[in-house]
Chains A and B, each alone.
Chain A
Amino acid sequence: MSGRSLFEKVWDDHVVVPETADTPAVFYIDLHIIHEVTTPQAFNMLRANGLKVRRPDLVLATMDHSTPTVPVPDLGAGLDAVSDPEPAAQIRQMIKNCEEFGIELHGFGSAQRGIVHVIGPEIGATQPGKTIVCGDSHSSTHGAFGAMGFGIGTSEVGHVLATQCLLQRKPKSMAVNITGKLQPGVAAKDIILALIGKIGVDGGTGHVIEYRGETIRDLDMEQRMTICNMTIEAGARAGMIAPDEKTIEFLRGRPQAPTGAEWDAAVERWLALASDPDASFDKEVDLDVSELEPQVTYGTNPGMVVPISQAIPSDHGDISYAKAIRYMQVEPDKPMLGTKVDVVFVGSCTNSRISDLRAVAGILKDRRVADSVRMLIVPGSQAVKDKAEAEGLHEVFIAAGAEWREAGCSMCLGMNSDKLGKGELCVSTSNRNFEGRQGPGGRTVLASPETAAASAVAGVIADPRDLLH
């Protein structure tokens, strides 16, 4: 018998009732993260059926998607003054649902509020070997810790609330081997964008990816989260990285991490999760990043990506390509470099952590955001905000002319007050450049925090390698 992969070990550990040809497995969930947008109908289902939340202690609740990124003075008129009525109603409904079902909510005023995928790791709730779900597709982020994180729909949110389980078929597995040392100015974001460009936005469909190789070992935990976060943009179910010393050091002392003898036992268990040397995968992909350049997208999905110095592909008569090019108002066979920028957004669960903000501050220090550019810097959580302010990063941002906001999803998706105007072009550190994702008619160019900051200074899409201090 061949050995088991990281994914298979975590899978096997959570099967309550094995799958058969007729029925999927009953699969146990260790951590359920919930937010205001994809849960109201699930709570309604519980109410309609007279059901309780089975394990409120395994639910981590916050508000991030539709929340304003300016201070909310109070939940009454104060909220109405800074939010549209529908998101405000959704926020109030979330508070009511959590109260009614006995769930602790990290709401406004909580030092632990933030984007679902930022706070899980931050408070140490995300741990190796756990199964973690959320009604949000970027739940793949938690895989950076050797957890199995995946996005679910609202019906499934209801299933987990009621039973702490899901009905699941075992996905296939895929190894992505990444080798080579990154050049200065090239980031984890560039690795994952290049990978999606290589395998396509459906290249991972039906699979759980394990990222392996020397490059991955060299990355810190925040960079690993950026990679796992965008796994869903390749269509994969989840992306995982084997726990190692970096994982353990990151978690040590976090509020929800185990302590004492339990910590020692957990560490031993976590380190044993790595794939066995003879584990096999259904599919393997290799990527050498030693020559990798910063990457930028030119189209309307994350797979439409090019190295920053290179021309975007030629038009070969494909209607989806033509639609994307028309929408983005870019020209075939020309590079994105030098394209005029209206807005720069630094934030989202992909790149809103302290190391991302430090990278941006490194470029903005003693420089100015171009007059024609509006730059928004939105920390991923209240804790990231506090830390950035303790380090004085916010002063660098404000001095450069950027806006420094409260934590939230912000302009990653056009459902709160932060939106692009029609036709505006935004260099964004988020994860989706779909049509209208950041506001109707808005045009999104995905890039690393470094490229975003360099573009903010230049007023056009710019190569961060030219600005390295």
Chain B
Amino acid sequence: MEKLHTLTSATTVLAIADVDTDQIIPARYLTTTTREGIGKALFADWRYDKQGNVIEDFPLNQPGAKQRKILVAGRNFGCGSSREHAPWALIDFGIRAVISSQIADIFRNNSLKNGLVPVVVDKDVHQWLLDNPGAEVTVDVVATELRLPNGTTVQFPIDRFARHCLLEGVDQTGFLMQNLDEITQFEANRPWQP
């Protein structure tokens, strides 16, 4: 996983609440057996019409959206299916942080394993961000701070281990493998076997 310390970018705003992972990447794009080029399918049914034409006023289609690395989304972003293709598609498109007032559990977990930072903020900050699309903000993983151009700085919650993995680019499979002795012992000593 690529290291990530701080990220400064203008935001793209998608104000809809409860955006589920079927919207982030529709099921028919899950037939891939790799991760290559998956950003093309990001929000496919919201970015393109049935004929495949670009829907101009969708936020991710607006001029400059390709350069923006931070997505501000409505409450409860990423609910639904556990597909990791959702963060893969966002990252492949160029998004590295998602800010909302609530982010669904499995999506948050999957994001952190791929270097996409989930940033949860309170209602007031969230509303400010929704009202100011394109604002240039900084997500600082070192200080666990979000800095807004109006001078506001807020802390955001992030698990200490997840933060460490982002800062150091830790591969979690490798981390787990360091516990193989404990795992072997656990298997040998349990009172019942599955």
Contact = CB atoms under 8 A, between A and B. Distances in A.
Interface of A: 16-17, 21-24, 26, 28, 30-31, 37-38, 40-41, 44-45, 49, 51, 58, 65-66, 84, 86-87, 89-90, 93, 127, 130, 135-137, 151-156, 158-159, 162-167, 169, 201-202, 205-206, 232-233, 235, 237, 265-266, 269, 301, 303, 319-320, 323, 413-415, 422, 432, 434-437, 440-441
A427 B50 CA distance: 23
Interface stretch (B57-65, B138-146, B171-179): B171-179
A24 B170 CA distance: 14
B150 interface: no
Given A167-B161, A434-B20, A153 B109 contact: yes
A437 B82 contact: no
Interface of B: 15-18, 20, 22-23, 26-28, 30-35, 45, 50, 74-76, 79-85, 102, 104-106, 109-110, 113-114, 159-161, 164, 172-173, 175-177, 179-180, 182-183, 186-187, 192, 194
28 contacts: A17-B179, A24-B161, A38-B84, A41-B84, A65-B30, A86-B31, A89-B33, A93-B33, A127-B194, A137-B80, A152-B106, A153-B110, A155-B84, A155-B114, A159-B172, A164-B183, A164-B187, A165-B176, A167-B172, A201-B18, A202-B104, A205-B76, A206-B105, A320-B16, A415-B28, A422-B50, A437-B22, A437-B27
Contacts of B187: 28, 164
Given A16-B183, A23-B161, A41-B34, A269 B192 contact: yes
A135 B85 CA distance: 11
B105 A432 contact: no
A137 B177 contact: no
A24 B35 CA distance: 27
A260 to B, nearest CB: 14
Nearest to A206: B105
Nearest to B113: A155
What 6 A-B pairs are tightest by C-beta distance, nearest first? A30-B194, A153-B84, A86-B31, A40-B33, A153-B110, A151-B82
Given A44-B34, A86-B32, A320-B18, 9 more contacts: A23-B161, A26-B179, A38-B82, A66-B31, A165-B176, A201-B18, A323-B16, A432-B80, A440-B28
Given A93-B33, A164-B183, A301 B79 contact: yes
B186 to A, nearest CB: 4
B84 A22 contact: no
Contacts of B81: 136-137, 413, 432
Considering residues B15, B164, B194, which has the most beta carbons from chain A within 10 angstroms of its beta carbon?
Answer: B194
A413 B104 CA distance: 20
B27 A415 contact: yes
B176 A320 contact: no
Contacts of B16: 319-320, 323
B23 to A, nearest CB: 6
Contact of B23 (A26, A58, A434): A434
Contacts of A435: 22-23, 45
A159 B27 contact: no
Contacts of A84: 31
Given A153-B82, A162-B176, A37 B183 contact: no
Contacts of B79: 201-202, 235, 301
Contact of A89 (B31, B82, B160): B31
A130 B34 contact: no
A86 B35 CA distance: 14
A242 B81 CA distance: 26
B179 A16 contact: yes
Given A38-B83, A93-B33, A153-B109, A320 B22 contact: no
Contacts of B183: 16, 26, 28, 163-165
A162 B159 CA distance: 24
Contact of B76 (A16, A165, A235): A235
A155 to B, nearest CB: 4
Contacts of A152: 82, 106, 109
Nearest to A46: B173
B18 A301 contact: yes
A319 B159 contact: no
Given A153-B106, A320-B74, A22 B15 contact: no
A113 B182 CA distance: 35
Given A155-B172, A156-B113, A235-B104, A436 B26 contact: yes
Contacts of A130: 194
Contacts of B85: 154
Contact of B182 (A17, A319, A422): A17
Contacts of A202: 18, 75-76, 79, 102, 104
A237 B83 contact: no
Contacts of B106: 137, 151-153
Nearest to A151: B82
A31 B173 contact: no
B176 A41 contact: no
A412 to B, nearest CB: 9
Contacts of A237: 105
Contact of B33 (A90, A201, A235, A413): A90
Contacts of A49: 173
B102 to A, nearest CB: 6
Contacts of B182: 16-17, 26
Given A49-B173, A301-B20, A169 B33 contact: no
Nearest to A164: B183
